[in-house]
């Protein structure tokens, strides 16, 4: 039976305006910042001249220095199976985020005059914010990941400087990962007429979508101030070229409860798809007594989503399996401070791997992230909480649950319910309530009901890691979609006990690896640790609760009711250096398919070979510079989307391997099969007995018909000779915010990559930009992200430069002892 769960829906939206009656501007530059508590800091007359001047978005903690004492957590991580408390030094990254942060900003509001309204919008403030305007308390929002806004009209003055003061405070043990610190997302000021459309005041859905037309329903709120009057809303829908394609004028009646309800028709709609993410705009013009008082713009897409039991998830009528990744919010060396270029780079790298969906684990994303997904064609599963009322960390969300859970949900839904990229909400991650048969299911339903009330168009799921409990106590049965974290071998058993007839791998794999680091012998291991604090990039190591990529691939391919997975994680993130919980200096994760510097690990190519059907993947590992391993067994793996390949070492054939499609989930579940990498044989080409000899490794790939289709070679590198640079975008915007990411590596005189280089590289920048940060992807490196020098890790690192506001050219130079330096040019326009 086919069951259509939800209305086809569409969406989106973002405010963004400068029409005559509404103006909006960001508060970015010239904030004053201090980390010292002061009871009078909010007063207009307070002397902040000695405070640091900073630009927002700002993450105060990313500047370090690292220390094991920063948020040292002496705990047992129950969900990881720990029974005794131990000192977890790098759990939250070893950065100094705990404590207070005070911000002050003086600004005029030229657009404001008596009778107008001023609203402050915070996209996110970490954490426990208290907001003051001209010395007076305005309000607070404890959860650091959510967006919130306050009407500050009663506090502002006309024609003079206003003082905005923000008090933030991070507690120890408030998080399981690096949360960031400060005004790490944008702050904006919105000035409107007395009568206006409130922040997030529109809700767009598309209850009917077919080839010929889409019916677009718009619910548009008008603020409470507008009790009396003659109000008319004109909504104009524009296509992506800006052409007017539909419009409607509606008068507000006294029965409308301050909300206009309009249905507009878009003929021949161009759908929002992953390959062509077409966006529309609804322009709302609000008239009061025939006078235009507000203009508000809502971006949305037209698309449908549907869940079919025992079949799958459908986007625009097309079965779409989630090839997803979980992502934390930090941007590696940039910390939590939001940056559009960094976000778009992450999404580009993920898309190239074949990813079609991102789970914002375990909290609400920045609006820039959602907008980028809308524009780039990436589905989103937006998550809200890692914890409810029952604590995972003592100062986590459990402190806010009673008073804030509903408000937090309402805000995130109102903020993002028009964004077409969001296809599902996730209301929790491995919450301890799963095992609480009394309260767990009630809280689960309480939250899901709020989501359904505020947005009936999207399914709700929850990342559950206690399948035993949740399939027996109703917890799983309540959800629209049963999301299971890990334990894919139990999917089938769980499926029998849940009513939805669909299973989502809401979090999967947690395979660990360090880019370019290989361990011998090549054996499957759980929680393996080594003196260098790294994990093997042969992609054979995982956590005690987790598994290898193929353990997920095979379940998702062989079971008809699975709808896809979200791998832990797309990028490495700061904090959670599992399995090096207590092994300082480890302070960032090893889970990523891409490292903290944004450089793909081998595992990236394994997923790419499986997920990206359009582009060729032919990737060889390990590197071939093994001085001292001559004659020793050094297995070679090839990750490719071709079915078979032949391998040559110095011209000698090592035999042909073909992916073994006869291996199935049931036939490959034994310990013995794990040892002999049975499942891997279906997805990887492996030569387990090859011996190292310096020279050339060559792989020749064949298609299904045995026809040679591609070749790749890798050579043992000679003496390090010169630095090589590659920039991701050679033209960036002259907005003072855009970033270019430069891959830095060392090669020999013939251009062969030197994979063992750890040389320190120095950076110099001239022209229209500045040096921003660097990362090398080493989870155990204590080097500053901001110093203009850094050691290579496994031969590579990423340096980041930022544009100035004036157009011109940036010359980036990298140098190191003993090798030739290199320069690269970036245009700033
Ligand atoms: C999961 C959890 C994630 C992360 C991961 C590491 O249980 O949801 O946040 O901790 O484990 O494997």
Within a domain: 592: yes
Q: What percent of the chain has pLDDT over 90?
A: 96
Residue 741 tokens, joined: 């990411």
Say whether both 272 and 313 belong to one domain: no
CB environment 151-189: b (16+ within 10 A), e (fewer): bbbebbeeeeebbbbbbbbbbbbbbbbbbbbbbbbbbbb
| Mean pLDDT across the chain | 96
Q: Which atom of ligand 1 is nearest to the CA of 463?
A: 8
3-state secondary structure of 316: coil
Domain endpoint, select from 694, 715, 736:
715
Q: Whose CA is nearest to atom 12 of ligand 1?
A: 510
CATH number for 346: 3.20.20.80
User: What is the arithmetic mean of pLDDT over 58-72?
Assistant: 97
Tally Cβ neighbours within 10 Å of residue 435: 14
Mutation probe of ligand 1 site: the residue of 431, 568, 571 with most atoms within 8 A of C-beta: 568
Q: Is 194 exposed, middle or buried (0-12, 13-18, 19+ CB in 10 A)?
A: middle
Within a domain: 821: yes
Say whether both 598 and 470 belong to one domain: yes
Q: Is 530 exposed, middle or buried (0-12, 13-18, 19+ CB in 10 A)?
A: middle
pLDDT for 355: 98
Residue 275 tokens, joined: 């390959």
Within a domain: 613: no
pLDDT over 90 (residue 783) = yes
Distance (Å) of CA 241 to CA 238, 244, 280, 756: 7, 9, 9, 50
User: What is the arithmetic mean of pLDDT over 15-21?
Assistant: 53
Residue 92 Cα to ligand 1 middle (Å): 13
Residues 120 and 542: their CA atoms lie apart, in Å, by 45
Domain endpoint, select from 141, 166, 193:
193
> What is the number of domains present in the chain?
5
Residue 788 tokens, joined: 């203009």
Residues 17 and 22: their CA atoms lie apart, in Å, by 7
Question: In sequence order, what are the residues at sequence separation of 6 or more whose Cβ sits closer than 8 angstroms to the Cβ of residue 685?
Answer: 637, 638, 639, 640, 644, 645, 647, 657, 658, 659
Question: In sequence order, what are the residues at sequence separation of 6 or more whose Cβ sits closer than 8 angstroms to the Cβ of residue 614?
Answer: none
Within a domain: 431: yes
Within a domain: 614: no
3-state secondary structure of 760: strand
User: What is the arithmetic mean of pLDDT over 446-465?
Assistant: 98
Residue 329 Cα to ligand 1 middle (Å): 14
Strand partners, 386: none
Residue 380 Cα to ligand 1 middle (Å): 19
pLDDT band of residue 227 (cuts 50, 70, 90) is low
pLDDT over 70 (residue 12) = no
Say whether both 427 and 575 belong to one domain: yes
CATH number for 92: 2.60.120.260
Say whether both 783 and 709 belong to one domain: no
Residue 597 Cα to ligand 1 middle (Å): 21
pLDDT for 17: 43
Within a domain: 615: no
pLDDT over 70 (residue 474) = yes
Residues 47 and 106: their CA atoms lie apart, in Å, by 12
The secondary element (H helix, E strand) that includes residue 820 is strand 819-828
Q: Whose CA is nearest to atom 6 of ligand 1?
A: 510
Q: Which atom of ligand 1 is nearest to the CA of 80?
A: 7
pLDDT band of residue 221 (cuts 50, 70, 90) is very high
pLDDT for 254: 86
- What domain range includes position 293? 3-14+197-300
Q: Which among 306, 368, 430, 724 is annotated as catalytic?
A: 430
Residue 547 Cα to ligand 1 middle (Å): 12
CATH number for 665: 2.60.40.10
Residue 568 Cα to ligand 1 middle (Å): 7
Q: Whose CA is nearest to atom 10 of ligand 1?
A: 576
pLDDT band of residue 225 (cuts 50, 70, 90) is low
pLDDT for 78: 87
Say whether both 347 and 480 belong to one domain: yes
Residue 330 Cα to ligand 1 middle (Å): 16
Say whether both 665 and 803 belong to one domain: no
User: What is the arithmetic mean of pLDDT over 730-750?
Assistant: 98
User: What is the arithmetic mean of pLDDT over 444-468?
Assistant: 98
Say whether both 572 and 456 belong to one domain: yes
**760 catalytic per annotation:** no
Segment 633-679, tens digit of pLDDT: 999 999 999 999 999 999 999 999 999 999 999 999 999 999 999 99
Ligand 1 proximal residues by C-beta, below 6 Å: 79, 362, 429-430, 465, 485, 507, 510, 543, 546, 568, 576, 578
Distance (Å) of CA 120 to CA 105, 133, 188, 307: 13, 10, 6, 39
* Structure letter (DSSP) for residue 406: H
3-state secondary structure of 500: coil
Q: Which among 306, 383, 387, 507 is annotated as catalytic?
A: 507
pLDDT over 80 (residue 330) = yes
pLDDT over 70 (residue 16) = no
Within a domain: 738: yes
Domain endpoint, select from 654, 684, 715:
715
Say whether both 313 and 216 belong to one domain: no
Q: Which atom of ligand 1 is nearest to the CA of 361?
A: 9
Q: What angle do CA 151, 111, 238 make, to 5 degrees?
A: 85
Say whether both 185 and 41 belong to one domain: yes
Say whether both 408 and 326 belong to one domain: yes
User: What is the arithmetic mean of pLDDT over 364-390?
Assistant: 98
Pair type for strands 357-360 and 379-383: parallel
Q: How many residues does the chain have?
A: 829
Mutation probe of ligand 1 site: the residue of 510, 527, 542, 589 with most atoms within 8 A of C-beta: 510
Say whether both 205 and 248 belong to one domain: yes
Distance (Å) of CA 17 to CA 60, 191, 295: 30, 10, 8
pLDDT over 90 (residue 6) = no
User: What is the arithmetic mean of pLDDT over 70-80?
Assistant: 92
Query: Where would I find the beta strands (DSSP E) of 222-304?
Result: 231-238, 244-251, 259-267, 280-288, 291-302
Residues 191 and 293: their CA atoms lie apart, in Å, by 12
Mutation probe of ligand 1 site: the residue of 507, 508, 545, 586 with most atoms within 8 A of C-beta: 507
Q: Which atom of ligand 1 is nearest to the CA of 429?
A: 8
Say whether both 408 and 486 belong to one domain: yes
Within a domain: 758: yes
Residue 713 Cα to ligand 1 middle (Å): 37
Mutation probe of ligand 1 site: the residue of 576, 579, 592, 593 with most atoms within 8 A of C-beta: 576
User: What is the arithmetic mean of pLDDT over 32-52?
Assistant: 97
pLDDT band of residue 8 (cuts 50, 70, 90) is very low
Residue 395 tokens, joined: 């100062």
**646 catalytic per annotation:** no
pLDDT for 229: 78
């Amino acid at each position: 039976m086919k069951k259509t769960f939800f209305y086809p829906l569409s969406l989106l939206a973002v405010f963004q305006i400068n029409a005559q009656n509404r103006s909006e501007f960001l508060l970015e530059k010239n904030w004053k910042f201090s980390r010292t508590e002061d009871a009078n800091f909010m007063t207009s007359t307070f002397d902040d001249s000695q405070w640091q001047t900073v630009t927002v978005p700002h993450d105060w903690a990313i500047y370090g220095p690292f220390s094991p004492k920063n948020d040292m957590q002496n705990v047992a991580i129950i969900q990881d199976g720990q029974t005794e408390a131990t000192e977890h030094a790098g759990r939250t990254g070893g950065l100094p985020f705990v404590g207070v942060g005070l911000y002050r900003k003086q600004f005029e509001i030229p657009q404001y005059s008596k009778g107008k309204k001023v609203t402050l919008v915070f996209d996110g403030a970490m954490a426990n914010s208290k907001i003051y305007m001209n010395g007076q308390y305005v309000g607070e929002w404890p959860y650091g990941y959510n967006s919130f806004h306050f009407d500050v009209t009663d506090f502002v003055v006309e024609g003079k400087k206003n003082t905005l003061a923000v008090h933030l405070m991070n507690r120890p043990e408030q998080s399981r990962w690096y949360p960031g610190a400060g005004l790490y997302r944008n702050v904006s000021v919105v000035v409107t007429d007395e009568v206006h459309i409130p922040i997030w005041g529109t809700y767009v859905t598309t209850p009917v979508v077919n080839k010929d037309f889409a019916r677009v329903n718009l619910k548009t709120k008008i603020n409470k101030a507008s009790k009396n009057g003659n109000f008319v809303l004109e909504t104009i829908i524009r296509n992506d070229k800006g052409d007017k394609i539909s419009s409607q004028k509606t008068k507000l009646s006294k029965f409308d409860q301050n909300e206009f309800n309009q249905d507009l028709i878009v003929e021949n709609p161009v759908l929002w798809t992953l390959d062509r993410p077409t966006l529309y705009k609804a322009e709302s013009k609000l008239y009061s007594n025939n006078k235009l008082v507000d203009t508000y713009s809502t971006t949305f897409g037209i698309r449908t989503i549907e869940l079919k039991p025992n079949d799958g998830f459908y986007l625009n009528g097309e079965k779409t399996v989630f090839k997803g990744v979980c992502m934390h919010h930090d941007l590696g060396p940039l910390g939590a401070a939001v940056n559009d270029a960094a976000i778009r780079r992450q999404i580009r790298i993920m898309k190239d791997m074949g990813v079609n969906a991102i789970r914002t684990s375990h909290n609400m994303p920045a609006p820039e992230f959602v907008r980028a997904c809308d524009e780039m064609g990436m589905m989103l599963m937006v998550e809200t909480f890692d914890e409810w009322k029952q604590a995972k960390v003592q100062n986590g969300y459990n402190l806010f649950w009673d008073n804030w859970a509903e408000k937090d949900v309402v805000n995130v839904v109102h903020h993002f319910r028009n964004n077409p990229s969001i296809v599902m909400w996730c209301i929790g991650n491995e919450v301890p309530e799963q095992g609480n048969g009394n309260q767990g299911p009630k809280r689960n339903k309480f939250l899901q009901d709020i989501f359904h009330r505020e947005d009936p168009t999207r399914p709700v799921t929850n990342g559950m890691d206690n399948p035993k409990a949740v399939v027996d106590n109703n917890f799983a049965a309540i959800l629209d979609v049963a999301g299971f974290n890990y334990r894919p071998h139990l999917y089938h058993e769980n499926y029998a006990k849940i009513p939805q007839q669909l299973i989502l791998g809401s979090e999967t794999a947690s395979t660990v690896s360090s880019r370019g680091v290989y361990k011998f012998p090549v054996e499957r291991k759980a929680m393996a640790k080594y003196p260098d604090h790294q994990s093997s990039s042969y992609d054979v190591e995982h956590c005690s609760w987790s598994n290898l990529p193929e353990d997920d691939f095979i379940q998702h391919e062989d079971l008809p009711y699975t709808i896809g997975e979200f791998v832990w994680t797309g990028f490495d993130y700061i904090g959670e250096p599992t399995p090096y919980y207590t092994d300082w200096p480890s302070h960032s994760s090893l889970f990523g398919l891409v490292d903290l510097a944004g450089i793909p690990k081998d595992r990236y190519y394994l997923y790419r070979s499986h997920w990206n059907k359009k582009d060729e993947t032919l990737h060889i590992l390990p590197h071939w510079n093994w001085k001292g391993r001559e004659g020793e067994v050094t297995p070679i793996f090839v990750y490719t989307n071709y079915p078979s390949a032949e391998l040559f070492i110095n011209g000698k054939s090592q035999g042909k391997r073909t992916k073994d499609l006869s291996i199935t989930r049931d036939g490959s579940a034994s310990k013995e099969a794990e040892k002999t990498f049975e499942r891997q044989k279906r997805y990887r080409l492996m030569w387990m007995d090859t011996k190292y000899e310096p020279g050339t490794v060559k792989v020749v790939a064949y298609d299904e018909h045995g026809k040679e289709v591609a070749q790749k070679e890798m050579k043992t590198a000679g003496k390090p000779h010169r630095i090589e640079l590659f920039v991701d975008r050679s033209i960036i915007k002259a907005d003072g915010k855009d970033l270019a990411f430069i891959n830095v590596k060392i090669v020999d005189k013939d251009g062969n990559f030197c994979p063992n280089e750890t040389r320190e590289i120095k950076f110099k920048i001239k022209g229209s930009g500045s040096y921003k940060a660097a990362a090398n992807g080493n989870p155990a490196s204590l080097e500053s992200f901001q110093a203009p020098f850094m050691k290579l890790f496994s031969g590579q690192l990423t340096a980041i430069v930022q544009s100035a506001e004036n157009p011109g050219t940036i010359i980036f130079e990298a140098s190191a002892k003993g090798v030739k330096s290199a320069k690269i040019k970036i245009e700033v326009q």
